[in-house]
Amino acid sequence: MIGREFKFHNGAKGSALAIRVVQKNNNTKIEKVLRDGTVVVNLDPESSDINMDLRKFLASILDINKIRLDIIAGHDGQEKLLSILDMKPDQVQKSILEKK
């Protein structure tokens, strides 16, 4: 990390969303929202690209372009952290709870 310059910002341009991916059946849906705010999403177990399918599904739930969703942690695991650009947390919460 020597010689690498880091630049931090306040994150005021969007929201973050904790996701847990499960693959129980072919019915892609929001399973539940845990007490800590983690959203449990069921994706098709035969998916060839879980991250892409997750972004497509969440973009449709949030009614946004998938370009505004970025997986910032957990690319290879079931636990993921997503950044949602230009969308306030209360808007994200409302959209998810309406589709749950």
- Greater confidence (81 vs 4) lies with 81
Which CA distances in Å does 92 have to 11, 15, 28, 61, 82?
Answer: 15, 8, 18, 9, 12
52 part of a folded domain: yes
How confident is the model over 12-61, as pLDDT tens digits? 588 899 999 999 888 899 999 999 999 999 998 888 899 999 999 999 99
- Domains identified in the chain, total number: 1
Reported as a pLDDT band with limits 50, 70 and 90, residue 7 is low
- Residue 4 located in a structural domain: no
- Contact call for residues 15 and 84 (beta carbons, < 8 A): yes
The whole-angstrom distance between residue 46's C-alpha and the CA centroid of its chain comes to 19
pLDDT score, position 1:
47
- Is residue 7 assigned to a domain? no
In a domain, 24, yes or no: yes
Within a domain: 64? yes
3, part of any domain: no
pLDDT in tens, 76-90: 999 999 999 988 888
Report the CATH number that the domain containing residue 73 is assigned in CATH.
3.30.1200.10
SS3 category, 80: strand
| pLDDT of residue 10 exceeding 80 | no
Check whether 4 has a pLDDT greater than 80. Answer: no
Task: Flag whether 22 is in a domain.
Answer: yes
In a domain, 72, yes or no: yes
The residue range of the domain holding 95 is 14-99
